[in-house]
Amino acid sequence: MDERLELRHGRSDLELGTTSYGWAGFDVVRVHARERLSEPYEIDVTLMRKAELGPANLDELLDTPATLRVLSESRWRSVHGILSEVEEIDRTREAILYRVRLVPPLWRSKHRVRCRTFVDNTLEEIITTVLENRATVKGYAQQGLRRRAGNAQQAPASPSFDEFDAPNGGYRIAVTDPARTRDRALRGYVVQYNETDFDFLSRLLEEEGLTYYFEHEERQVVMTITDRPGFVPLFEGSHVIPFRGVAQGGGSRSKEAIQQLRRARRLRSASVTVADWDERRPQQPLEAVARARGAWASQLEQLAFPGRDEGNKSTPDQHPASVRLQRLDAERSMVDGRSTVRLLEPGSRFTMKDATGLREDEELIVVSVETFATQMLPDGFRLEDEPFGFSAGSQEIGGYENRLELLPAEIVFRPAMKTARPNVDGVHAAVVTADEAQGETPEIHCNEEGYVRLRFPWDQRREAGEPSSTWVRTSQGWAGAGFGMMYIPRVGQEVLVAYYQGDVERPVIVGRVYNAIQPIPYELPERKTVSTIKSHSSPGGDGFNEFRFEDKKGKEEIFLHAERNLNEVVKASHSESVGGDQSYGIGGNQTRRVGGNREVHVTGVHVMSHQSLLSNARDTHDFSSPQTRFDQEALFQVHSPHKTFKGLITTFDEAGMFKVTAGSATLTMGAGYIMMDNGAGSKIELVGGKILVSGDGSIEQTTKGVHSITGTAAVDIRSDGQVKEHGSEIRMND
């Protein structure tokens, strides 16, 4: 015959109800429960089912709602959840033994692994997205937890066992100051990378110093997220728990009491410095220090870098430093205990009262409870062979004991930072985007610092019109204060991304690569000796600028292409040396300004072809070349006070007319014709075989030697006035 605890109020002390089998499907044999702040509880329940009822369907039980009820001296305590594990242990002709594990609905988040980004969202929005099982912040909830407003309501002290009402899961956020959880700047870019929803949520809460625990209403288990656990009393009317040591009757199973309390102090760091690096404030140290009181604080220092609080513009890293110090203070002051109290729940506060007066009354917060309870010993099963309980008393019928971790109520509990951040090795591929840009997608999309946005192939988040990532820095070949290199990756280009200290939330572009959509600029392997820097006109242009090197033996070349303008600025000397030929082709005008002298030395022929040549030099043009030629129809104008042409032989070779003008005087030469006109009435003309000399005044011929006038036909001297001849001797017809 099965041995079991005597029924009270017609019910067993431990009852389990399920959706498929209600309250009558199983008898509770024993319970092992593990409950702790900031952890989902795990309650292993050993069950017995009468063979006459038939075996239970394990698939029907798995992942279905269930409720465990525990009867205390004053009321029932309900623990709602789902069954995460179901196993059949053994069978006899009379009964079948099962073991199930009861966990909160949050447990499902342990089995959802995602890769996604959150851009410009608050911590509260991210928490909501994860708990409600949304794909995106604005997406639909998919069988996740339901958000609750206000405080949770306690389950009835005497609930009904007539029908099983399947409980559901909810959550609420109860922080004393929601400013940080609602600040978009603090966590502008958050990444969940190959993490379960549970791990992702856990590390966010741990970093922020937020705690969660579970409250059980009549038909709902509520996950409460808070920065100050212990504000809620244990149970209405049951918040005072007596302390009874073994000497005071604390060993009795019939009396619920704290049986043992062990206080200790543990050595921990007493000073915390949190530091960060922010590229937008590189010269401003981002650092905060939190110290405990005491002369020994400076001897036990702890540095945390990075603090990941650079988004806080006013007091960066002050909150992380305070949270870390409070966490160390809680670890230093934790109290261990042992009890038979059945109503203890992590996150609740109670007053411990010692009737003997050996201890002062004290308010304590429940941090963790581990419980072993035995209700019956079914025949035919050797459960005693399995490790169970803190002592042999836990395996006896009616055995109920637990081990506790408590904290004085004046000390703030902060969860341990035990959830590792994803660490990324190597580099990732990504594509430059402009998802949030309005209208037509721009070809280049960056902020005032040259940062761009990226789309990672692993990112499951797709939200039209929303940024695909934070603004991401681009590594350049050289970066200084207003100088260096600048290449802005363009929309659609593939880039290589590394991460600061392996932190997936701190990406930086370290390279660019070609792909099938963004091919290389030259055909390979045919042009494998080409190296180039080639750009592309934007927006919508087909032009380009290029600086290209051809290294093929015998065809080496440096090629420079300017799609529009090419400007050179040389503040000192500029020299060119050309070993072969050099040519210039100018489609428009050319202007050269020389502040000093200009020399052109031509060893061979210097040929200049112009429609007109205009020289505005104020000084001297020196053409020292053996030959200087001006071909074609050209106008050679020299606007200068003095013009000098020097040489042993100065030759002007013109096929047509040559004319020199100086003031009003002119010299005109052509084929068979030369004319000199002084512009004052005197003129000499050589026309064919004639020589014509004319003047408005007199004509005088003076010579020191012989002056001979010879004509083969005749010499005709005419004058309307006198003709005078003077000489020492005048001969006529000698």
Residue-wise pLDDT for 82-118, tens only, equals 999 999 999 999 999 999 999 999 999 999 999 999 9
CA–CA dist 459, 135 (Å, integer): 11
CA–CA dist 430, 640 (Å, integer): 67
- Average pLDDT, integer, range 309-336: 92
Neighbours of 348 (CB within 10 A): 22
- Average pLDDT, integer, range 593-620: 76
Q: Residue 636 above 70 pLDDT?
A: no
Tens of pLDDT, residues 370-383: 999 999 888 777 77
Neighbours of 332 (CB within 10 A): 16
CA angle 320/321/324 to nearest 5° reads 85
**Residue 298 confidence (pLDDT):** 66
Cis peptide leading into 507, omega within 30 of 0?
no
Q: Going along 503-640, which residue ranges are E strands?
A: 507-513, 530-534, 546-550, 557-561, 606-609, 613-615, 628-631, 636-638
Are 364 and 409 in contact, with CB atoms under 8 Å apart?
yes
- Average pLDDT, integer, range 254-263: 88
Here the tokens at position 606 are 């210097």
Q: Residue 58 above 80 pLDDT?
A: yes
- Summary mean pLDDT of the chain: 87
Q: Residue 146 above 90 pLDDT?
A: yes
How far the first Cα of the chain sits from its last, in Å, is 186
Q: 437 falls in which pLDDT band (50, 70, 90)?
A: confident
Q: Residue 626 above 60 pLDDT?
A: no
**Residue 711 confidence (pLDDT):** 65
Global pTM reads: 0.81
Q: What is the DSSP string of 243-299?
A: E--GGGTTT-TTS--EEEEEE-------EEEEEE--TTSTTS-EEEEEE-SSTTGGG
For residue 169, the surrounding DSSP H or E stretch is strand 168-174
Considering only residues 707 and 2, tell me which one the structure prediction assigns the higher pLDDT: 707
Closest CA to 135 of 208, 204, 192, 202: 192
CA–CA dist 490, 487 (Å, integer): 9
Neighbours of 678 (CB within 10 A): 14
Here the tokens at position 366 are 């429940």
Tens of pLDDT, residues 449-477: 999 999 999 999 988 889 999 999 999 99
Here the tokens at position 105 are 């609905």
CA–CA dist 553, 538 (Å, integer): 35
Here the tokens at position 5 are 């605890």
**Residue 689 confidence (pLDDT):** 74
Considering only residues 149 and 142, tell me which one the structure prediction assigns the higher pLDDT: 149
Q: What is the DSSP string of 227-241?
A: SSTT-EESSTT--EE
CA angle 406/410/411 to nearest 5° reads 60
Q: 622 falls in which pLDDT band (50, 70, 90)?
A: low
Tens of pLDDT, residues 354-404: 988 888 899 999 999 999 999 988 877 777 666 666 665 556 787 899 999
Burial class of residue 703 (count of CB atoms within 10 Å of its CB; 0-12, 13-18, 19+): exposed
CA–CA dist 641, 616 (Å, integer): 11
**Residue 1 confidence (pLDDT):** 42
- Average pLDDT, integer, range 555-582: 93
Lowest mean pLDDT segment, chosen from 263-267, 380-384, 422-426, 675-679: 380-384
- Average pLDDT, integer, range 507-536: 95
For residue 42, the surrounding DSSP H or E stretch is strand 39-50
